[in-house]
């Protein structure tokens, strides 16, 4: 193809030649006219020598308005790229053709996005030095391609909503440069929040944030209020703009057309506005643009709301609205990194409510929830803006105090204890919550959030076991103990699973008949392969806290019942076996049935076992505990109150429960010889028991002096090393054989 020496846009270089020869051909012209594209031939002097009918259909200009003129003088307008002519010329000269996309204007002034393909013409077409230009309307394609594709891509790439909306605004402003676009969100309270308005002055955006929608609230507020587009041709005069005129006074904007963005249920979630610099309404291109954008905006806004809801559910506690464990941990990690960088200290506070379970159990979960929300509020109020708070689980709250030394942490923690202990009204009842706080310092007590949490938890645990409603700083000693305890728990779990525990039996003798046996008490024994014998005073509390006690109790019942049945089978006379029941087992709804089941399995009767409970069970008002006790009573079981005299010793409770035996704690027995008080108390316990028809078992009788005194006071049953230590079953059998049978 001969390369034109002079491209066909711009000023002519020589006079226009006549119509190129091939276009005299009628069929060819008909074919060209039928095309939807506009086709233009220009001669070497760049004057238009031919346009097809498609040109007139697309731009509205007839041949008489175009022929003999420069195409640029007909179609170029306000926002056509000013460098376009040079670009076309350059390309046509160098390569013989040029392809561009540009904004051109129709006869009515409508801007249209046009793809232009300009080829240098030869003898057979426009004549040497001329051009053939094909113009295609790509306005729609442009919108779809640019907007749809880029916005959807943005969504897929998790672009934040404001960025996505800014992208829409910028694209719209590129397609229609006379427009200043803005997208506002509308919240559930009917307030506007700018999402994107790249060309609006920042102070206007700031002022719009939080503005209420209404019937006279500018174009956007009104459109959001009415749920339909609002066209304000002149903001200087329109009554709906009265409140906003001053704000926009220096912006140079005169007209504003705003359309509501509706979600899939038809709810207004935002507005999409076009501002113009002169009084006017939108044209067809603007309408097509808005049509193309509204559903994209709706999609993006809805998606963002869903994402926020998911985020809220995933990272915040639904009840209190506080960050949950994972949210707290990740924010805390960032804070620790900052503190480390600046060589500063921080404090992790671990708060746990005292006896919170009781609120849930006795007043119901709604009351428990109300307490947690109130405590969350109180704790939050004790914090400074830079601190973090989270709810880990149940009644556990954690706080990370930034730039905080030990003294200050203690002070804040004291403030928290005081704030928590204010009386509160919970569902009409007065309640005073208490809490225990453990403190671990960064970086001395731990450099990672996990270590700090673990150590603050240990300190809290210590505070709780010391005296509750107090605070405790973490110490290395505490850590050592906690680790030991964790090792003990693991080993106990394994021992239970592998049935490595055993039972020892301690005889309880009748003081009235020498050699007479009241029963035996079954006591758990654990001989660890490395550590040797672990005393029950160590492993029973661990079993309780680790939730292993119930399994242990069931095993113990089965074992003790099986042993009693075996002794009977072998002809040994053992009237009954006493088993120790943990208070926690009574929280299991089926506990009473499980006990009955163990007995039946070994063919025993309720009178064959004595169930030892502690005073804490007696005081436990939980419905489940009461139901278990009631069920045991109905079945005819006998209860024995262990360690009597050490706990609440509330005599008033004694007659409420089906208790047939009191076990006088060994502390009394030990002091009998040297303490008149111990003697006086023992005498009164014996007389109360007698009047209530209960048997008294004196525990820990070690000397014959104790035995004689107790016997003289009429104590019916005694247990202690004086008569026999707890021993394995075979030793007990030997012990039994050695006893003088009651005569």
Tokens 């779809």 belong to which residue?
144
Note whether 721 binds ligand C2E by CB under 6 A: yes
Smallest separation (angstroms) from ligand C2E to the CB of 706:
9
Q: Determine, following the binding rule CB under 5 A, whether residue 642 of this chain makes contact with Mg ion.
A: yes
Q: Where is 568: in which H helix or E strand?
A: helix 549-569
Residue 721 touches which of Mg ion, ligand C2E, none (Cβ within 5-8 Å per kind): ligand C2E
- Check binding of 661 to Mg ion (CB under 5 A): no
Select from Mg ion, ligand C2E, none the partner in contact with residue 720, using the beta carbon and a kind-dependent cut-off of 5 to 8 Å.
ligand C2E
Residue 99's region, left for phi above 0, alpha for psi from -120 to 50, else beta, is beta
For ligand C2E, give the closer residue by CB, 72 or 660. Answer: 660
Phi/psi of residue 536, nearest 5 degrees: -60, -30
Cβ closest to ligand C2E, residue 400 vs residue 689: 689
| Residue placing its CB nearer to ligand C2E in the complex, 446 or 645 | 645
Alpha helices in 5-137 (DSSP H): 26-34, 53-59, 63-66, 71-75, 84-95
Contact stretch for ligand C2E (CB under 6 A) within 99-107, 188-196, 317-325, 529-537: 529-537
One-letter-per-residue 3-state SS of 38-52: EEEEECCCCEEEEEC
CA distance 433 to 726: 43
Q: Where does this chain touch Mg ion (CB under 5 A) — which range of 510-518, 608-616, 650-658, 685-693?
A: 608-616
Q: How far is the CB of 602 from ligand C2E (least distance, A)?
A: 17
Separation between Cα atoms, residue 510 and residue 89, nearest integer Å: 123
Residue partners of 307: CB distance under 8 A and separation at least 6:
none
Binding string to Mg ion for residues 683 to 712, with x set by CB under 5 A, is what? ----------------x-------------
Told to check if 580 binds ligand C2E by CB under 6 A, we report yes
Residue 135 or 579 with smaller CB distance to ligand C2E: 579
* Residue 32: partners with Cβ closer than 8 Å, 6 or more residues away: 39, 52, 54
Give whole-number Cα distances, 158 to 151, 155, 162, 503, 551, in Å. Answer: 11, 5, 11, 63, 50
Minimum CB distance to ligand C2E smaller for 257 or for 505: 505
- State the binding partner of 700 from Mg ion, ligand C2E, none, CB within 5 to 8 A by kind: ligand C2E
Selected from 612, 615, 620, 661, the binder of Mg ion by CB under 5 A is: 612
| Minimum distance of ligand C2E from residue 525's CB (angstroms) | 7
Site string for ligand C2E, 603-622 (x = CB under 6 A): ---------x----------
Note whether 702 binds ligand C2E by CB under 6 A: yes
CA 60 to mean position of chain CA atoms: 61
Per CB under 6 A, the segment of 106-114, 332-340, 483-491, 533-541 that binds ligand C2E is: 533-541
Instruction: Tell me the DSSP string of 254-289.
Output: -EEEEEEEE-TTS-EEEEEEEEESSS----HHHHHH
Identify which of residues 43 and 521 has a Cβ nearer to Mg ion in the complex.
521
Q: Does 558 bind ligand C2E (CB under 6 A)?
A: no
- By CB under 5 A, tell whether 580 contacts Mg ion: yes
Write the DSSP assignment of 401-429 as a string of letters.
ESS--HHHHHHHHHHHHHHHTS-EEETTE
Q: Kindly give the interhelix angle for 623-635 and 591-601, rounded to the nearest 10 degrees.
A: 30
CA angle 579–581–587, rounded 5-degree value: 155
Only one of the segments 390-398, 485-493, 586-594, 719-727 lies at the binding site for ligand C2E (rule: CB under 6 A); that segment is 719-727
Nearest to 357 by CA among 396, 390, 319, 391: 396
**Of 222-230, 348-356, 397-405, 720-728, which segment contacts ligand C2E by CB under 6 A?**
720-728
- 627 burial level (CB within 10 Å; 0-12, 13-18, 19+): middle
Distance CA 713, CA 679 (A): 10
What distance in Å separates the CA atoms of residue 200 and residue 192, rounded to the nearest whole number?
15
Measured from the Cβ of residue 527, the count of other Cβ atoms closer than 10 Å reads 12
Q: Which of 342, 537, 677, 730 binds ligand C2E (CB under 6 A)?
A: 537
Q: Is 726 in the site for ligand C2E (CB under 6 A)?
A: yes
The answer to whether 44 and 38 are in contact (CB under 8 A) is no
Instruction: Indicate the residue among 556 and 659 with the shorter CB distance to ligand C2E.
Output: 556
Q: Is 720 in the site for ligand C2E (CB under 6 A)?
A: yes
The listed partner (ligand C2E, Mg ion, none) that binds 639, CB under 5 to 8 Å by sort, is none
Contacts of 396 (CB under 8 A, 6+ apart): 350, 351, 352
Which DSSP string corresponds to 614-680?
-HHHHH---HHHHHHHHHHHHHT-EEEEEEETSS---HHHHTTTTEEEEEE-HHHHHHTTT-HHHHH
Of 340 and 702, CB closest to ligand C2E: 702
Closer by beta carbon to ligand C2E, 391 or else 504: 504
Q: For ligand C2E, give the closer residue by CB, 282 or 700.
A: 700
Stretch that binds ligand C2E, among 84-92, 120-128, 593-601, 713-721 (CB under 6 A): 713-721
Q: How far is the CB of 646 from Mg ion (least distance, A)?
A: 8
x/- letters, 638..677, toward ligand C2E (CB under 6 A) = ----xx----------------------x-----------
Site string for ligand C2E, 469-508 (x = CB under 6 A): -------------------------------------x--
- Which pairs count as long-range contacts for 483-492, CB under 8 Å and 24+ apart, including other chains? 485/542, 488/534, 488/538, 488/539, 488/542, 489/542, 489/545, 489/546, 489/548, 491/528, 491/531, 492/526, 492/539, 492/542, 492/543, 492/546, 492/548
Query: Segment near Mg ion (CB under 5 A), from 347-355, 636-644, 716-724, 728-736?
Result: 636-644
- Position among 524, 574, 664, 696 found at the interface with ligand C2E (CB under 6 A): 524
- 458 counts as binding ligand C2E under rule CB under 6 A: no
Closest separation between CB of residue 722 and ligand C2E, Å? Answer: 7
Distance of alpha carbon 234 from alpha carbon 245, whole angstroms: 10
# residues contacting ligand C2E (CB under 6 A) = 22
> What token pair was written down for 76?
């170029």
CB of 708 to ligand C2E, least distance (A): 15
Residue choice 271, 436, 511, 582 for contact with ligand C2E (CB under 6 A): 582
Binding-residue pattern over the window 371 to 410 for ligand C2E, x denoting contact by CB under 6 A:
----------------------------------------
Q: How far is the CB of 599 from Mg ion (least distance, A)?
A: 19
Matching residue, tokens 């360690």: 643
For residue 456, the surrounding DSSP H or E stretch is helix 449-466
Distance CA 458, CA 105 (A): 76
Radius of gyration of the chain (CA): 45
Angle between helices 476-497 and 536-545 (to 10 degrees): 90
* Cα gap 690→655, rounded to integer Å: 13
Considering the rule CB under 5 A, would residue 139 count as an interface residue with Mg ion? no
Residues in the chain: 743
615 is a contact residue toward Mg ion (CB under 5 A): no
Least Å distance between CB 557 and ligand C2E? 9
Taking the C-alpha atoms of residue 534 and residue 495, their distance in angstroms, rounded to an integer, is: 12
Task: Find which of ligand C2E, Mg ion, none residue 345 binds, CB within 5 to 8 Å per kind.
Answer: none
CB of 724 to Mg ion, least distance (A): 15
Complex with ligand C2E: residue 222 or 506, whichever CB lies closer: 506
Which chain residues interact with Mg ion by CB under 5 A? Answer: 580, 612, 642-643, 699
Which chain residues interact with ligand C2E by CB under 6 A? Answer: 506, 523-524, 535-537, 540, 556, 580, 582, 612, 642-643, 666, 699-702, 719-721, 726
């Amino acid at each position: 193809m001969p390369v034109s020496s002079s491209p066909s846009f711009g000023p002519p270089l020589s006079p226009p030649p006549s119509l190129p020869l091939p276009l005299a051909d009628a069929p060819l012209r008909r074919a060209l006219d039928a095309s939807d594209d506009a086709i233009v031939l220009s001669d070497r002097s760049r004057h238009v020598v031919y346009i097809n009918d498609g040109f007139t259909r697309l731009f509205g200009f007839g041949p008489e308005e175009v022929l003999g003129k420069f195409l640029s003088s007909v179609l170029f307008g306000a926002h056509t790229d000013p460098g376009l002519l040079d670009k076309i010329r350059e390309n046509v000269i160098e390569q013989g053709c040029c392809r561009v996309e540009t904004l051109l204007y129709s006869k009515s002034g409508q801007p249209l996005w046009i793809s232009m393909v300009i080829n240098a013409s030869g003898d057979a077409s426009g004549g040497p030095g001329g051009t053939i230009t094909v113009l295609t309307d790509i306005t729609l394609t442009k919108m779809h391609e640019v907007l749809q594709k880029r916005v959807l891509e943005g969504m897929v790439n998790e672009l934040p909503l404001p960025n996505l909306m800014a992208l829409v605004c910028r694209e719209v402003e590129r397609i229609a440069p006379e427009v200043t676009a803005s997208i506002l969100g509308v919240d559930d309270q009917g307030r506007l929040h700018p999402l994107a308005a790249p060309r609006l002055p920042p102070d206007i955006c700031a002022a719009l944030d939080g503005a209420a929608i209404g019937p006279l609230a500018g174009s956007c507020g009104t459109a959001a209020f009415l749920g339909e587009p609002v066209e304000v041709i002149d903001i200087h005069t329109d009554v709906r703009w009265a409140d906003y005129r001053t704000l926009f006074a220096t912006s140079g904007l005169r007209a504003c057309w705003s359309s509501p963005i509706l979600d899939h249920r038809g709810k207004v979630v935002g507005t999409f506005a076009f501002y113009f610099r002169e009084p006017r309404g939108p044209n067809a291109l603007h309408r097509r643009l808005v049509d193309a954008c509204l559903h994209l905006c709706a999609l993006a806004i809805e998606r963002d709301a869903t994402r926020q809801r998911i985020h809220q559910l995933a990272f915040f506690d639904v009840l209190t609205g506080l960050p949950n464990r994972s949210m707290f941990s990740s924010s805390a990690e960032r804070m620790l990194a900052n503190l480390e960088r600046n060589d500063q200290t921080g404090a992790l506070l671990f708060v746990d409510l005292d006896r919170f379970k009781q609120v849930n159990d006795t007043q119901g979960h709604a009351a428990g929830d109300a307490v947690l929300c109130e405590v969350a509020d109180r704790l939050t109020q004790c914090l400074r803006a830079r601190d973090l708070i989270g709810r880990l689980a149940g009644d556990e709250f954690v706080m990370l105090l930034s730039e905080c030394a030990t003294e200050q942490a203690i002070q804040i923690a004291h403030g928290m204890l005081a704030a928590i202990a204010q009386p509160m009204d919970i569902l009409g009842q007065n309640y005073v919550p208490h809490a225990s706080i453990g403190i671990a310092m960064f970086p001395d007590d731990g450099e990672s959030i996990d270590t700090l949490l673990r150590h603050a938890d240990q300190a809290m645990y210590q505070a709780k076991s010391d005296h509750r409603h107090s605070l405790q700083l973490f110490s290395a000693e505490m850590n050592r103990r906690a680790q030991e305890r964790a090792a003990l728990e693991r080993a106990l779990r394994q021992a239970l699973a592998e049935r490595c525990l055993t039972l020892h039996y301690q005889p309880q003798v009748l003081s009235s008949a020498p050699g007479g046996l009241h029963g035996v008490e079954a006591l758990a024994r654990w001989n660890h392969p490395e550590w040797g014998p672990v005393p029950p005073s160590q492993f029973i509390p661990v079993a309780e806290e680790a939730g292993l006690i119930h399994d242990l109790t069931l095993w113990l019942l089965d074992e003790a019942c099986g042993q009693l049945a075996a002794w009977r089978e072998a002809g040994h006379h053992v009237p009954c076996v006493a088993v120790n029941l943990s208070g926690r087992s009574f929280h299991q709804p089926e506990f009473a049935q499980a006990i009955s089941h163990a007995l039946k399995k070994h063919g025993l009767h309720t009178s064959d076992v004595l169930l030892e409970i502690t005073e804490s069970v007696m005081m436990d008002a939980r419905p489940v505990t009461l139901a278990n006790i009631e069920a045991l009573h109905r079945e005819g079981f006998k209860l024995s109150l262990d360690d009597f005299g050490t706990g609440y010793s509330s005599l008033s409770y004694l007659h409420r429960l089906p208790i047939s035996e009191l076990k006088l704690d060994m502390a009394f027995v030990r002091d009998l010889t040297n303490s008149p008080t111990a003697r006086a108390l023992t005498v009164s316990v014996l007389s109360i028991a007698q009047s209530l028809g209960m048997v008294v078992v004196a525990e820990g009788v070690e000397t014959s002096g104790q035995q004689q005194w107790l016997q003289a006071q009429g104590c019916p049953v005694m247990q202690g090393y004086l008569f026999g230590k707890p021993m394995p079953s075979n030793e007990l059998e030997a012990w039994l054989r050695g006893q003088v049978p009651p005569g």
